[in-house]
Chain A
Amino acid sequence: GESVGLHLPTLSVQEGDNSIINCAYSNSASDYFIWYKQESGKGPQFIIDIRSNMDKRQGQRVTVLLNKTVKHLSLQIAATQPGDSAVYFCAENAGGTSYGKLTFGQGTILTVHP
């Protein structure tokens, strides 16, 4: 069945470093991908999204890369700050009749050390 998973469950970085969080997906029909950040006691917060007709999209300090050939998604955070410490989830959507359904990965815990 379709699934979205993460290569690395935990990631520790020093403040100021760049962080890269990876995600693999298995549903080749997926056409929309999102990265969410979840802090303790809060719901997932939207970071950035990308459609399958793109391979890169940039936001403020974040970049999402999509490689459809190998079904891989990554989130790059530039100059990581302690406030970036959280659990990061990738999610995908395959459209069609389930256009509202997001399939989430397990999450990567990012810890930023000052």
Chain B
Amino acid sequence: EAGVTQFPSHSVIEKGQTVTLRCDPISGHDNLYWYRRVMGKEIKFLLHFVKESKQDESGMPNNRFLAERTGGTYSTLKVQPAELEDSGVYFCASSQAVLPTGPYEQYFGPGTRLTVT
């Protein structure tokens, strides 16, 4: 079974430009999450999709970040315009449907390393 995949693996852009990150979750996983780790900080939650709906976007830093999951399959995270502080590693994760007593195990992708210069 294929794991969570992310594209690109690396992206270097200039301040003010736009970048779009893509995440393909494990097939059949309704839940998709975005996290990021900026230099020297812990991994931080950005948002959570259930199918195509945003369940929780409390971690989105500002309106320069836009996440979509049209059709409830893959997701994109767009940063526009990018700022220097957006540099870091962006992780995507997915999990199966959550049951009241079921596990919340989230499977992570390899991440996209974003560098804004």
Interface residues of A (CB under 8 A from B): 4, 32, 34, 36, 41-46, 49, 89, 91, 93, 97-107
Contact = CB atoms under 8 A, between A and B. Distances in A.
Contacts of B55: 97, 100
B47 to A, nearest CB: 9
B98 A101 contact: no
A36 B106 CA distance: 10
Contact of B59 (A36, A45, A49, A101): A101
Given A32-B104, A99-B104, A100-B33, A106 B56 contact: no
Contacts of A34: 104-106
B82 interface: no
Nearest to A96: B56
Contacts of B50: 100
A46 B45 contact: no
Chain B's interface size range is 20 to 34
Contacts of B48: 98, 100-101
A44 B91 contact: yes
Interface of B: 4, 31, 33, 35, 41-45, 48, 50, 55-56, 58-59, 91, 93, 95, 98, 103-111
Contact of B42 (A32, A98, A106): A106
Given A36-B108, A93-B104, 15 more contacts: A41-B110, A42-B110, A42-B111, A43-B109, A43-B110, A46-B105, A46-B107, A97-B56, A98-B58, A100-B56, A100-B95, A101-B56, A102-B33, A104-B43, A105-B42
A46 B106 contact: yes
Q: Which one of A43, A99, A104, A106 has the highest number of Cβ atoms from chain B below 10 Å of its Cβ?
A: A43
